[in-house]
A and B are shown apart, each in its own frame.
Chain A
């Protein structure tokens, strides 16, 4: 799937390398699987890995990461032709291989992010501008890739409209390189403008990258408060548009084109824009989204100990109030019924905890007050922070409050997961964090409207109330020394 060659022009030696997307081990022949990385990010990673393994090579051939290519196959295409920098494409111009001097990959690394990986002519023009080399595009007359599929079993979902997005960012990069002699000083800006939870992950990832390819972040201006709280290291470029709705009523490529209009010529002239929204189904990858984003931003993540999940959290705080009375804050409304913690589960958990003398608050749910909870308003980041600080433990769904409280505040948190993957959006089990789900065969289904199995509006993958209560008591004991009298 991910392949390349190292060539030595002096000796004629060709060395092949095959990699696969990691399913969790991050073995030597695996590459981190990141849903927010554009295809070009894997071109960079392949070049890094092959370059490190073949230090005597002077040319690297990197296969298009969108295509299921093997080193043996691409070696067959290369053998017989004169070695030299070039691009190989199919009969219609879909790029198959990028062949550049080994040193060039390192010299222009951040700018390689703007390769489209779907249009050889555009990529050739960009690479020519970046390297100053004469780069012919050779076409394999007998091979036609055809239209790239909308979706694949591996989770790619580039589709034709997304290919246009990639081409637009490449075209913008070409304009910069061809019109500005100082293009090397032009920063790379990640286009990742929404949604709130994703912004938390991206911002926290930026604090955790040693080799950043990206300096700026295009982000909806309604998230200013989130960026202020997360201490992102990326300079924001505010996109003055309401965020993309999640109901599919506006397509992401359509929104992207309007974003370019909104950002205006000045921003496009002064920034290499790279599309870093989700390009793959995140649940296919076993890793946490912060690590997905760290990879996108430039971290290679070649060993499991590099993963954020297995390291101490960047932020860790706790409530300063005495352990008793224990106060727990719930957020059980996910915006869509299928994302809500089931009502009956919530009622039972609240009643049980109240019976144990534990004080319960629930964000925005007056209907749960008859069962012993107090409904509190926390619909802005400031009010959320204030509410959390008054409680020992936060219980949240796979949504912004949970991600902010856990990752930015570092507060003792229990994450409840129904339709989405706890490994991707929660991850881990420690004194201050638990991710709970029922781990049913259907999980994670990713449904956003109703249960795809039963058609119901509630998800039965959520942890049962007894498991939730047990987790709360366990965390309260571990973190605060709380014991039920």
Chain B
């Protein structure tokens, strides 16, 4: 699994004017801990597993800049976007697979529903539908689920792989290709990053 500290958040804030960080897959709160150290107006983290969501939410209950949303990622993203000031750039840190799997609360292939197991495409389409994402930074974890490459932490477990017809990230190019510079990284389990072609205020 990837970690948010692999990214230069201060640099992204300075370069693209990102003032929000929205994470899907709270897990045990490592991403929230990292994000809370930086100068965001608000950090939203969305977790479908109630136990994980509550544990982290109680830990950060006294930090008004952190909001943990329990629920499916789409519902959580909508809730976060409703609260965010329109036009203010954000960093979206998206988990590519069924939540809980990184924390021994479910296996990578435990969710039979494809949409729930691999929500990334629907999440990106939802973002594009609900806001102007041309100035947002999109960081996607676990690229190895979608593409073969020589990743630092090795290939994806076969059981967690989607059916071949779903194993691609063409939708990322389709949604972000015209507005973002898309890069792949082999670090850990693979990252796909999309940086805006135009910077804040440009």
Residues of A with Cβ closer than 8 Å to B?
221-222, 224, 240-245, 249-250, 255, 258-259, 261-262, 264, 380
Selected from B54, B69, B70, B75, the residue in CB contact (under 8 A) with A250 is B54
Q: Which residue of B lies closest to A255 (CB)?
A: B58
The answer for the CA separation of A261 and B58 in the assembled complex, in Å, is 9
Q: Is B62 an interface residue (CB 8 A)?
A: yes
Q: Which residue of A lies closest to B58 (CB)?
A: A258
Task: Given A222-B69, A222-B71, A240-B67, verify A245-B50 contact (CB < 8 Å).
Answer: yes
Query: In the complex, how many angstroms separate the beta carbon of B135 from the nearest chain A beta carbon?
Result: 26
On chain B, the residues within 8 Å of A261 by CB distance are 61-62
Residues of B51-108 contacting chain A, CB below 8 A: 51, 53-54, 57-58, 61-62, 64, 67-71, 75, 79
The answer for the CA separation of A250 and B58 in the assembled complex, in Å, is 10
Task: Given A221-B79, A222-B69, A222-B71, verify A242-B53 contact (CB < 8 Å).
Answer: yes
Of the four ranges (under 10, 10 to 19, 20 to 34, 35 or more), the interface on chain B belongs to: 10 to 19
Query: In the complex, how many angstroms separate the beta carbon of B29 from the nearest chain A beta carbon?
Result: 13
User: Contact between A258 and B61 (Cβ–Cβ < 8 Å)?
Assistant: yes
Select the residue from B58, B64, B70, B75 with max chain A CB neighbours within 10 A.
B58
Query: In the complex, how many angstroms separate the beta carbon of A215 from the nearest chain B beta carbon?
Result: 24
On chain B, the residues within 8 Å of A259 by CB distance are 61
On chain B, the residues within 8 Å of A264 by CB distance are 64
User: Contact between B62 and A242 (Cβ–Cβ < 8 Å)?
Assistant: no
In the A-B complex, the 7 residue pairs with the smallest Cβ-Cβ separation, listed nearest first, are A242-B70, A261-B62, A258-B61, A261-B61, A242-B54, A242-B53, A262-B61
Query: In the complex, how many angstroms separate the beta carbon of B76 from the nearest chain A beta carbon?
Result: 9
* 15 CB < 8 A contacts A-B: A222-B71, A240-B68, A240-B69, A242-B53, A242-B54, A242-B70, A244-B54, A245-B50, A245-B51, A258-B58, A258-B61, A261-B62, A262-B61, A262-B62, A380-B75
On chain B, the residues within 8 Å of A245 by CB distance are 50-51, 54
The answer for the CA separation of A250 and B54 in the assembled complex, in Å, is 9
The answer for the CA separation of A261 and B63 in the assembled complex, in Å, is 8
Q: Which residue of B lies closest to A264 (CB)?
A: B64
The answer for the CA separation of A176 and B123 in the assembled complex, in Å, is 44
User: Contact between B61 and A222 (Cβ–Cβ < 8 Å)?
Assistant: no
On chain B, the residues within 8 Å of A250 by CB distance are 54, 58
The answer for the CA separation of A241 and B54 in the assembled complex, in Å, is 7
Q: Which residue of A lies closest to B70 (CB)?
A: A242
User: Contact between B79 and A241 (Cβ–Cβ < 8 Å)?
Assistant: no
Query: In the complex, how many angstroms separate the beta carbon of A473 from the nearest chain B beta carbon?
Result: 35
The answer for the CA separation of A221 and B71 in the assembled complex, in Å, is 11
Select the residue from A240, A250, A261 with max chain B CB neighbours within 10 A.
A240
User: Contact between B50 and A242 (Cβ–Cβ < 8 Å)?
Assistant: yes
On chain A, the residues within 8 Å of B57 by CB distance are 240-242
Q: Mark B38-59, 1 if CB is under 8 A from A, else 0.
A: 0000000000001101100110
The answer for the CA separation of A244 and B67 in the assembled complex, in Å, is 16
Query: In the complex, how many angstroms separate the beta carbon of A60 from the nearest chain B beta carbon?
Result: 41
Select the residue from A242, A243, A250 with max chain B CB neighbours within 10 A.
A242
Query: In the complex, how many angstroms separate the beta carbon of A476 from the nearest chain B beta carbon?
Result: 33
Query: In the complex, how many angstroms separate the beta carbon of B79 from the nearest chain A beta carbon?
Result: 7
Query: In the complex, how many angstroms separate the beta carbon of B173 from the nearest chain A beta carbon?
Result: 31
Query: In the complex, how many angstroms separate the beta carbon of A254 from the nearest chain B beta carbon?
Result: 8
Selected from B64, B68, B75, B79, the residue in CB contact (under 8 A) with A242 is B68
On chain B, the residues within 8 Å of A244 by CB distance are 54
The answer for the CA separation of A216 and B11 in the assembled complex, in Å, is 43
The answer for the CA separation of A120 and B71 in the assembled complex, in Å, is 43
Given contacts A222-B71, A242-B54, A255-B58, 16 further A-B contacts (CB under 8 A): A221-B69, A222-B69, A241-B57, A241-B68, A243-B50, A245-B50, A245-B54, A249-B51, A258-B58, A258-B62, A259-B61, A261-B61, A261-B62, A262-B61, A262-B62, A380-B75
The answer for the CA separation of A261 and B57 in the assembled complex, in Å, is 11
User: Contact between A241 and B61 (Cβ–Cβ < 8 Å)?
Assistant: yes
The answer for the CA separation of A224 and B61 in the assembled complex, in Å, is 20
On chain A, the residues within 8 Å of B58 by CB distance are 241, 250, 255, 258
Select the residue from A224, A244, A262 with max chain B CB neighbours within 10 A.
A262
Query: In the complex, how many angstroms separate the beta carbon of A240 from the nearest chain B beta carbon?
Result: 5
Q: Which residue of B lies closest to A258 (CB)?
A: B61
The answer for the CA separation of A249 and B50 in the assembled complex, in Å, is 12
The answer for the CA separation of A245 and B67 in the assembled complex, in Å, is 18
Query: In the complex, how many angstroms separate the beta carbon of B68 from the nearest chain A beta carbon?
Result: 7
Query: In the complex, how many angstroms separate the beta carbon of B58 from the nearest chain A beta carbon?
Result: 5
Task: Given A241-B57, A245-B51, A380-B75, verify A222-B62 contact (CB < 8 Å).
Answer: no
The answer for the CA separation of A250 and B53 in the assembled complex, in Å, is 13
On chain A, the residues within 8 Å of B67 by CB distance are 240
Query: In the complex, how many angstroms separate the beta carbon of B9 from the nearest chain A beta carbon?
Result: 22
On chain A, the residues within 8 Å of B61 by CB distance are 241, 258-259, 261-262
The answer for the CA separation of A261 and B51 in the assembled complex, in Å, is 20
Q: Which residue of A lies closest to B66 (CB)?
A: A240
On chain B, the residues within 8 Å of A258 by CB distance are 58, 61-62
Q: Which residue of B lies closest to A247 (CB)?
A: B51
The answer for the CA separation of A367 and B113 in the assembled complex, in Å, is 15
The answer for the CA separation of A244 and B70 in the assembled complex, in Å, is 11
Query: In the complex, how many angstroms separate the beta carbon of A324 from the nearest chain B beta carbon?
Result: 34
Q: Which residue of B lies closest to A366 (CB)?
A: B112
On chain B, the residues within 8 Å of A224 by CB distance are 79
On chain B, the residues within 8 Å of A262 by CB distance are 61-62
On chain A, the residues within 8 Å of B53 by CB distance are 242
Query: In the complex, how many angstroms separate the beta carbon of B146 from the nearest chain A beta carbon?
Result: 26
The answer for the CA separation of A427 and B54 in the assembled complex, in Å, is 33
The answer for the CA separation of A262 and B75 in the assembled complex, in Å, is 21
Query: In the complex, how many angstroms separate the beta carbon of B66 from the nearest chain A beta carbon?
Result: 9
The answer for the CA separation of A255 and B51 in the assembled complex, in Å, is 13
The answer for the CA separation of A353 and B62 in the assembled complex, in Å, is 53
On chain A, the residues within 8 Å of B68 by CB distance are 240-242
Query: In the complex, how many angstroms separate the beta carbon of B175 from the nearest chain A beta carbon?
Result: 24
Q: Which residue of B lies closest to A242 (CB)?
A: B70
On chain A, the residues within 8 Å of B62 by CB distance are 258, 261-262
